[in-house]
Structure 1
């Protein structure tokens, strides 16, 4: 009888724990590539689980939270221009009463930088903020802090 009760309890706890898992539908990776001795491109890649999406960089109005990047100031490099992304898919979302751009599966963002030191190396530090959604829910805004070595 004790074994049956223990088995039932452990099954209930396992099932309860599986429903309490935190969704992390987006994984981030970073890289860099030097263009020449004074310039490089930083790459920040989002790999997005099937059925989920993240929003584009530039959204107008009172819609979802767009993906955004901020880079820590450094004497070793300077940001050149804006963060670039491929063209997003666009759909009309009734909830926001507007067309919104979004990415599925994966997307690679690029940021060009100028190297300010004679060594031609630096560590770019930054944060990406995004909101991920699927057909039934949107998660709160998340952020990922990164360090990208430039060699």
Structure 2
């Protein structure tokens, strides 16, 4: 009985610790606008108490950024769009910092050049809470698109 209880507590703490180290979960979706264009949506679901920095205005700390892999199946139209972020004065940086809590959806419009393909790339972000920040992390993505 003690062994089972110990094993249960050990596994519970392992999963709780693993969840805390991954406070941001990413998901992806594309939506066809017309025969030649689509939008890709890159969604961050952010754990309570955590935030990620917006793409704009945050040097330093690290802004969220996107790098798209060139492809014969699509061409980017414009830049990645982000919704309005939360602005809060940070005494350490002596300026307003802009970030997202709970959830954010970034949007990129693409021109479809071939029948099927995928929008590939890497996003980079930093997750922080009110006490500390995790190291910057890169996440690869592959989002199917078709005409």
TM-score in same-fold range (> 0.5): yes
Structure 1 position 95 matched with structure 2 position 92? yes
Structure 1 position 129 matched with structure 2 position 124? yes
* Structure 2 partner of 1:68: 65
Structure 1: gaps (5+ residues): none
Which of 30, 37, 40 aligns to 2:38? It is 40
Structure 2: gaps (5+ residues): none
Once the two structures are TM-superposed, the CA of residue 19 in structure 1 deviates from its matched residue by 9.8
Which whole-Å CA distance do the structure 1 matches of 2:54 and 2:74 have between them?
A: 26
TM-score (norm 2): 0.87
Deviates more, 1:19-28 or 1:121-130: 19-28
Aligned length: 143
Task: Specify the SS of the correspondent of 2:10.
Answer: helix
Once the two structures are TM-superposed, the CA of residue 18 in structure 1 deviates from its matched residue by 4.1
* Structure 2 partner of 1:58: 56
How much is the aligned-residue C-alpha RMSD, in angstroms?
Answer: 2.3
Structure 1 position 140 matched with structure 2 position 140? no
Which whole-Å CA distance do the structure 1 matches of 2:90 and 2:46 have between them?
A: 20
Which whole-Å CA distance do the structure 1 matches of 2:58 and 2:49 have between them?
A: 24
Which whole-Å CA distance do the structure 2 matches of 1:81 and 1:20 have between them?
A: 40
Task: Specify the SS of the correspondent of 1:36.
Answer: coil
Structure number, greater radius of gyration: 1
Deviations 1:26-66 (A, max 9, x none): 000000001111100000000000000000001244x2100
